[in-house]
Amino acid sequence: MDTVVVVGSNSFSGASFADFALGQGARVVGISRSAEPIPAFLPYKWHDHANFSFHQLDLNNDLPAIMALIRDLEAAYVVNFAAQSMVGESWKNPADWFMTNAVSTVRFHDELRKCEFLKRYVHITTPEVYGSCSGFVKEDFPFNPSTPYAVSRAAADMSLRTFRATYGFPVVSTRAANVYGPGQQLYRIIPRTILFILLGRELQLHGGGVSTRSFIHIRDVSDATWSIMRNGREGDTYHISTKQVISVRDLVEKICDRMGVRFDDHVEIVGERLGKDSAYHLDSTKLRTELGWQDRIGLDQGIDECIAWVRENLDALKSQPCDYIHKP
């Protein structure tokens, strides 16, 4: 049984991947800086998994303890979801974003490269490094980050290129565009819209929602991440994305339609947030052709799953914060 260490296991993507990996028969060890949130946000707690353990450790402050754990386990795989991930908020405290996403992450890589037992390190990065772009971009598209968040992530990505070239570090990287699904944090657009409608609150739609995105279901992303972890080419990056593009406004209108409410009764148009990219669409041909992956969950089905999740957990969710809370 392979051991998979999931760093950032309290995150939406990390918790969902942990659940998927457990379903594949792996032993999963989760690491996050905060205590586990309520079960509604942890998909690995929705099933009877016996091979999961959690350790509350912070990449910024507890690196020696994290590395001691990884060495003791002789973990075959390390998948790193940990990051300061909010884009707009990165303008307020940019140093915090650079500390987590660049400095602490590079320190982590520098320790991992010394672990001869490590089969593969999976670096979960972001399409934000490309900045705003037109058309569907491939993995070799030039970096043009436009926010502190994106710059901090690009710095770690570029550092990994040197680690791969110099040390032969067994890294593969993933970039997924606009992941969603049951269990997602409430400040994200899909669960936030659903919850606000159910609570009778007005949703603020930045910039009128003209930005376009490709929303992809978390189970498809977890499936892709598992395939990349096991079979991706070392040193390569893989895009995980659908081919369907939708504006944020049309997305919110679709949610309203599926919940039987009027868009104008629940949405207020407000100004755009600072540095927001109008579009980034990822070409996932490489993942599809090399590893035979394909997305299977359409947007309508995925939204219906999210609506069902919010309704089922409404009593617990309505007492949770709806806005992002920054932790240095």
Backbone CA torsion sign across 239, 241, 245, 251: negative
Asked if 327 and 100 touch (Cβ cutoff 8 Å), the reply is no
Comparing CA positions, the residue from 275, 114, 296 lying closest to residue 217 is: 296
Scan for tokens 């991440």, then name that residue: 225
Beta carbons within 10 angstroms of residue 327's beta carbon: 10
CATH of domain 185-213+245-278+299-317: 3.90.25.10
123: left (phi over 0), alpha (psi -120 to 50) or beta: beta
Domain boundaries, the chain: 3-179+215-240, 185-213+245-278+299-317
CA distance 137 to 121: 24
Asked if 31 and 23 touch (Cβ cutoff 8 Å), the reply is no
Q: Which fold has domain 3-179+215-240?
A: Rossmann fold (3.40.50)
pLDDT of residue 276: 54
CA angle 137, 81, 20 (to 5 degrees): 95
Burial code (b: 16+ CB inside 10 Å, e: under 16) for 14-30 equals: bbbbbbbbbeeebbbbb
Amino acid letter at 222?
Answer: S
pTM of the model as a whole: 0.94
CA distance 244 to 281: 9
Comparing CA positions, the residue from 230, 235, 228, 291 lying closest to residue 76 is: 230
Instruction: pLDDT tens for the chain, 328 residues: list them.
Output: 899 999 999 999 999 999 999 999 999 999 999 999 999 999 999 998 899 999 999 999 999 999 999 999 999 999 999 999 888 889 999 999 999 999 999 999 999 999 999 999 999 999 999 988 878 999 999 999 999 999 999 999 999 999 999 999 999 999 998 999 999 999 999 999 999 999 999 998 988 888 888 999 999 999 999 999 999 999 999 999 998 999 999 999 999 999 999 999 999 988 765 555 556 689 999 999 999 999 999 999 999 999 999 999 999 999 999 887 877 7
Asked if 29 and 6 touch (Cβ cutoff 8 Å), the reply is yes
Scan for tokens 């919110």, then name that residue: 252
Comparing CA positions, the residue from 191, 175, 182, 179 lying closest to residue 252 is: 191
Scan for tokens 């991992």, then name that residue: 112
Comparing CA positions, the residue from 118, 38, 121 lying closest to residue 75 is: 118
Backbone CA torsion sign across 32, 38, 41, 46: positive
Beta carbons within 10 angstroms of residue 274's beta carbon: 13
Sort strands 3-7 and 27-32 into parallel, antiparallel or unpaired: parallel
CA distance 184 to 140: 29
Across-strand partners of 32?
Answer: 56
Q: Cα-atom radius of gyration of the chain, to the nearest Å?
A: 19
- Which positions ≥6 away from 114 have C-beta within 8 Å? none
Asked if 194 and 186 touch (Cβ cutoff 8 Å), the reply is no
Scan for tokens 């060890």, then name that residue: 29
